[in-house]
Structure 1
Amino acid sequence: MTPEESDALVHDPQGGLPRLLEIMRRLRDPQTGCPWDIEQDFASIAPYTIEEAYEVADAIEREAWDELEGELGDLLLQTVYHAQMGEEAGLFSFHTVATAIADKMVARHPHVFGDESRDKSAAQQTRDWETIKAHERAARKARGVLEDVALALPALTRAVKLQKRAARVGFDWPEVAQVVDKIAEEARELAEARDSLTRAEMVEEFGDMLFAVANLARHLDIEPEDALRATNAKFTRRFRVIEAKLATLGKRPEDSNLAEMDALWNEAKAEEKAGKIP
């Protein structure tokens, strides 16, 4: 592509994906690109990729449909960024990335793109999907059941995935009640021994308890990250009501006390359940 053709594409509002790819190529050009973009590598960009994925999830959670388009664009840019760096290193390109995921989708949906019957439930499709993924791992000669569960996943999400993998080979509590008992056991051990444990031991025991809670989420078919985000949002809404009610009294939270704020919390909770708080 000549410099003139590149400029025309970069400034073409109808240029679509080729325009975005060319913009990224130009940003990374070692002679004429952006100094900041040139300095980046896979490791430095990875945190932004994770952040953008969460911002997409946040817009969906808030049903902020007017924001979702922009957030999806930011996330797409991350793929384009990694693909450009991959091409520069001779590892892969945007084209090969797109080809790989397209091939994977076709292979994992034989009931749509092959000759298998579509007459199956969503649950059966999920089981079939996991079977296909297991065959793919076997073809890659994966060394262990837990080998390719990504380390960079949020800890609660990774805990659930690790537990799902272990459950496939029979390493799992058969009853929800047993998981609940395990949570109570871990919480009791932490509470009873907290004065005799070292800091490292306390962190370990607390981690064991969280792992058990993640296991309960899996048994109840609850996504723990989603559940905790929803609770964070609920806490934020109700605490803002406390702040607003205190403000009408000419007070701030630091001027109040636990008893007063707890009473206001219960008021906020009742108002929310009555539909008075959006």
Structure 2
Amino acid sequence: MSTSPAAPSTEPAAPAAYPVGSSPQPAVVVDVWADVVCPWCYLAKRRLRLAIDAWDRPHEVLLRHRAFELDPAAPVSRRGHGLTVAAYLGEKYGGGEEAGRAMSSRVAEIAAQDGLRMDLDAAVHANSFDAHRLVALAREMGGPALEDAALERMFSAHFAEGLAIDDHDVLLRCAAEAGLDERRVAAVLADDTYAEHVHADESEAREIGVTGVPFAVANNRLSVGGAQSVEVYLALLRQAARPA
């Protein structure tokens, strides 16, 4: 989990790994490095969408998910037999499961104020690599809209439903519910397709100095880290839309 600076900052960023899309070019392209098991990333996704909708040019914004694993070495939990998030936090930061629950409850309270339901007592600490691969598949199959739907479904499955999002049966069901073709999803899960997309995103994150998520880069020149307010994200969009 990352801390949040007060306002957008100018920071160099490498070109995005994904093509911008069809002509005409959007006025603002926002690349957001995030992990589907990061509650602040879920919160940032909601607030950034609200900021886009509040801007007077929402259709000129292209939002793109960039993969980032907070714990690449996390064991695959498979069907929820791993640690709960609360137990994991208690192990990582000390204080045991009770301390982990206290940390989780604070995040859940903030999320609830933004209309997001998080049941972190039930959430399972999971490896997010395959979920990121399926979000990449969604972008290829249906562009930003399907990518967003897949990402939202992964967040909801993990935070609201206590599902093990590294279990392939769970991933297959969630991806299908988001609108992906089940046969394509099954084929991707059967091999390492889109692994290079995840690795490329993470490599670029290291190159531009990203150490925590969420981290948003607008038009490859303005960046802001942490789960910012809607107002800060709106300021980011407006600033990015101005000529450099």
In the superposition, the TM-score normalised over structure 1's length comes to: 0.20
RCO greater where, 1 or 2, for CA within 8 Å and sep 6 or more? 2
The alignment's TM-score, normalised by the length of structure 2, stands at: 0.22
